[in-house]
Amino acid sequence: MRDIIITLTIIFVIFIHSNSQTYGKNGMVVSDNTISSQTGIDILKKGGNAIDASIATAFSLAVTFPQAGNLGGGGFLVYLDSRGKSTTIDFREKAPLASNSVMFLDSNGKLIKGSNHKGLKSVGVPGTVAGLYLAHKKYGVLPWKELVQPSIDLAEKGIIFSWNLEQHAKKFNSGDYPKFLQDYFKNSKENIIKQGELWIQKELAETLKFIRDYGKDGFYSGPVADEIESFMKENGGLITKEDLKKYKAIEREPIKGKYKDYDIISMPPPSSGGVAIIEMLNMIEKANLDSIKFNSSEYIHLITEIMRRAFADRAEHLGDPDFNLNMPINKLISKEFAKMRYANIDLHKASVSDSSKFGQLYDGDNTTHLSIIDKDGNAVSLTYTIEQSYGSGLGSKKLGFLFNNEMGDFNPKPGYTNNGWLIGTKANIIEPEKRMLSSMSPTIISKKGKPYLIIGSPGGRTIINTVFQTILCVLEYNMPIKKAIEVLKIHHQWMPNKLIYESDLISIDSLKKLEKMGHIVSATKQLGRLMGILCPLEEDIYIGASDSSSPDGGAIGY
């Protein structure tokens, strides 16, 4: 009876937090899991700042949200402090030292299907622990151990297994998945854990204890690093202790732009999100939106053409800045370039996507995002990932976490671009220690130096466009944050030449008009899974909302 009550209580809390806006005066945490959001709130209540809360929430998600929350992946953090100073932390994964530009090709130079997304050779050197540790070292206030301990408690004492996790467990047990993933959700009796039961992760707890006690060295050296290297050697992986020792997270200057009276603060390369979002906002400024009905076929056409151009530029030019020293970033985010780009948009006809000139890479779709603000107005937008859902599906039983499959985000065949998914531009070709290009787009919008909108999303290649459209809905159409997250989203990434739309949110008449304009339309159920906080300057309140497509997600304020 007690278990039933606990389960019903959790379901009720999740429903309340995931299906409405949430308000707070002293702080707000929005993530893909209500338990993890509460972890962040608890840190804020102890006197921690937004950086502290983001670290604790991220470690907690490694326990509660294993399909994307992680120790074995990487990501990006954007930080705006209460004085209006901004910075970013880049903890994107790297290619191992033993990698090379043709490692996924056969003897005839053809891509071995699926090879860059499956198996241990698809695993990039993880960056999450190093990134969170650097953020704490530079900007945290509470002791490191206090930020990691909550995740250890969750792993050791167990969390109530959700309906969503049970569905994943059943799928893995019935399909052709790696053995590690098949066993991941089983108890000591080798039975699949059921909804409402406790899920205890002892091995993950032990790994987290090393991180708690030794900081980043608890992951990148010592017993954890020894086991990672041993597991890789025994199973055909590339990562060594030298790879782990050499990995460093990097603090980088944000990408900045302006949209009317708002300042855009986002992630620079190796994320492509900041550059593309600012380029698209610059282009939309040239449009007369007052003459176009929101989400009409004319509006969708315009947004599609803007997306097409930004994604083509992304694929042609962007990559790891430490390997590409002459990327034309200032040009791409300039108002003058946007004016030129916008000038050749035909408002009545779709453009041609030409694969002989420039392109777009493939990204996985299971990332997770968290948005946080504290009582002093310090704001964090953090997106991290293990690439596809549950990453590579591989991991050491002794460590209890999943490895990413991020090597698939590199361009796998140098010099070859086609009309589908393959891109061969030099900027994102595999090189040892190079960071693969990403679509993750953690972003903070400020006004008069104060946070106004903290936003981000998972969704792989769709992240950039879902974040862009949500920003536009808030800034241009003054939508409440919940509505801006939930309204129709579309996606076009230049190649392949498809306009993807959310099937339940668009009319048949609009689709017919778009097809007459020359668009190739394709339906999907959901684009993105946004987590946002709105901070109205005229009100002493924070308003948080999580996407209703996140079954266990939620916004919590206090």
Q: Which residues are catalytic?
A: 367
Q: Provide the strand spans (E) within 267-415.
A: 367-373, 379-385
Cβ pair 548, 530 in contact under 8 A? no
Helix (H) / strand (E) containing 514: helix 508-516
Q: Is 256 helix (H, G, I), strand (E, B) or coil?
A: strand
Q: Is 244 helix (H, G, I), strand (E, B) or coil?
A: helix
Pull the structure tokens for residue 497: 């030449």
Name beta bridge partners: 255. Answer: 266
The number of angstroms, rounded, from the C-alpha of 430 to the middle of its chain's C-alpha atoms is 21
- 31's CB contacts (< 8 A; 6+ apart) are 37, 40, 57, 61, 65, 368, 369, 370, 371, 531, 546, 553, 554
Task: Name the one residue in this structure whose structure tokens are 């953020």.
Answer: 135
What single-letter amino acid sits at 121? K
- 302's CB contacts (< 8 A; 6+ apart) are 284, 287, 292, 345, 347
- 235's CB contacts (< 8 A; 6+ apart) are 120, 394
Alpha carbons 185 and 183: distance in angstroms, whole number: 6
Helix (H) / strand (E) containing 523: strand 521-524
Buried b / exposed e over 458-473, threshold 16 CB at 10 Å, is bbbbbbbbbbbbbbbb
Alpha carbons 32 and 165: distance in angstroms, whole number: 13
Alpha carbons 276 and 105: distance in angstroms, whole number: 30
Q: Is 193 helix (H, G, I), strand (E, B) or coil?
A: coil
Buried b / exposed e over 482-513, threshold 16 CB at 10 Å, is bebbbbbbbbbbbbbbebbbbeeebeeebbeb
Task: Name the one residue in this structure whose structure tokens are 């929005």.
Answer: 30
Alpha carbons 71 and 132: distance in angstroms, whole number: 10
